[in-house]
Structure 1
């Protein structure tokens, strides 16, 4: 195995373990020693991959958004769903499934880390802002397509609706953590159906 591939594998292993651990407990509560021990990587070699814990956090969030956006693009390009609204509803339904389950790799890092790291690190906050903007852009495009296809009423600003929906789902995810049940997510799903003229 060549050295660059080995380095990438080790870096990926560190980030995989960090995503599940920090997705469960947060950024500040998890020490580097814990992650490196779980990844079976010597502590001294951490700085070969990341300049600091903050740079590590930036890399973690960048990778999270890269994967999330790729999955969202695939879902919205799916030919299995014939309408833009049905593709959007599938996205929200998947949100309910992933955020109410026990798979730590699927937890929304925006919900888990957003408030915490935005106060700790300007660079991590910037990654969060850029990533969420790109999600809202994709939702805006799909809402615009739905309106153009006559699937929903063509009134109001599509980006404003996309941002409002995304913000509602972030809030619902936070409340689902507080209440330890998926009722807030189910409520968000019902409201989304209504806003997309699906009731």
Structure 2
């Protein structure tokens, strides 16, 4: 197996440091130190912390398992359950203390990093779109009532999930996530 490059080590460290500490509180020096690299070498691989953060958000997006929403071999409502359970498991793996990187960065709204804001917005919109498509699939399969507005429901799920992930950070347990999951499946996506 090839040795990871310094760029990859910086990106790995950046993902971890930015997720744990947030955008504003994480400096280039901390990222370089976590990668066991001199601070000056950071700029040989990334234009700025903002550029690294955009790449970190892309990597984080890959870990969100949006592919679970499009698996044709699984019933649509189960795809949504599987996806939300994956997200819940990821939050639990960190004792609910890290939250969702998208929500963390959105809550910060780093004014000096417009590319980060654009990347977060695009990622949340992609998630919302895939959820809406899966809800429509579930409606066609008669798993969800036809009176549900798929786009509005998907937006509500994304917004509620992000809020619950932030709240779970403050309480340190799954209660907010459990409440949202119950709301999603017992109210929002229930059969008409």
TM-score under structure 1 length normalisation? 0.84
Unaligned runs of 5+ in 1: none
Are residues 1:174 and 2:171 paired? no
Quote the residue 1:197 is aligned against.
Answer: 190
- Structure 1 residue 118 displacement after superposition: 3.9
- Structure 1 residue 133 displacement after superposition: 0.5
Quote the residue 1:61 is aligned against.
Answer: 57
Matched position secondary structure for 1:98: helix
Aligned pairs (5 A) from 1:94-173:
94-102=86-94, 107-173=99-165
- Across the aligned residues of Structure 1 and Structure 2, the Cα RMSD in angstroms comes to 2.5
Name whichever structure is richer in helix by fraction.
Answer: 1
Quote the residue 2:67 is aligned against.
Answer: 73
Quote the residue 2:178 is aligned against.
Answer: 186
CA distance 1:107–1:16, shift in 2 (3 Å): farther
The answer to whether the 8 Å contact 2:14/2:31 transfers is yes
Unaligned runs of 5+ in 2: none
Q: In structure 2, what is the Cα distance between the partners aligned to 1:143 and 1:193?
A: 12
Larger deviation, residues 120-129 vs 54-63: 54-63
Matched position secondary structure for 2:24: coil
Aligned pairs, how many? 190
- Structure 1 residue 30 displacement after superposition: 1.8
Quote the residue 1:39 is aligned against.
Answer: 35
Q: In structure 1, what is the Cα distance between the partners aligned to 2:35 and 2:109?
A: 23
Larger deviation, residues 141-150 vs 92-101: 92-101
The answer to whether the 8 Å contact 1:98/1:107 transfers is no
Q: In structure 2, what is the Cα distance between the partners aligned to 1:88 and 1:115?
A: 25
Q: Select which of 64, 81, 85 maps to 1:93.
A: 85
- Structure 1 residue 10 displacement after superposition: 2.2
The answer to whether the 8 Å contact 2:132/2:150 transfers is yes
Matched position secondary structure for 1:151: coil
The answer to whether the 8 Å contact 1:100/1:176 transfers is no
TM-score under structure 2 length normalisation? 0.87
Q: In structure 2, what is the Cα distance between the partners aligned to 1:21 and 1:118?
A: 16
- Structure 1 residue 75 displacement after superposition: 5.2
